[in-house]
Structure 1
Amino acid sequence: MLILKLPKEQKEELTTKVQQFFEEERSETIGSIAAEQLLDFMLKEIGPHVYNHAIHDARKVVLERMQSLEDELYSLEKPVSAKR
């Protein structure tokens, strides 16, 4: 699977958030390179799991909608009288 490639602006924003997390939650200061490397690692290692979960959720929604559509199509059928 391809590694998620983020737009530059989004990657910079997330790198800043990683730095803020370390500062606020761990009282540690990390540089932008370390934060970006951590972000890249997380995307590589956790990204596929999140992606697969999203696909599972999407599949569930599509199947539910298809079932609903099938029910609606059956309700549109006209009764047919048997000829003798």
Structure 2
Amino acid sequence: MSAILFLNKQEMSELTGRKQRQKQVEQLVSMQILFTLDAFGWPKVLRKTIEAELGAGESYQIRRGGATLKDDELYIGQ
């Protein structure tokens, strides 16, 4: 079984809160998430990138603005 490399369109919509490709691109830029564009101009984000950004797994650390945050230091919006 092969792993799915990129987020699908539904996942991209959930991540960005946007459905239009240009709005998704703008949101990804503002979120500082690395992406590329496919041949049709849709943004493509590696699943691994999001897992790292959102702290998937206990051993991940997030680097933002020169600081390293551990899982217990991440802001979860509460």
Q: State TM-score, norm by structure 1.
A: 0.29
Q: Greater relative contact order (Cα 8 A, min sep 6): structure 1 or 2?
A: 1
More helix as a share of residues: 1
Larger Rg over CA atoms: 1
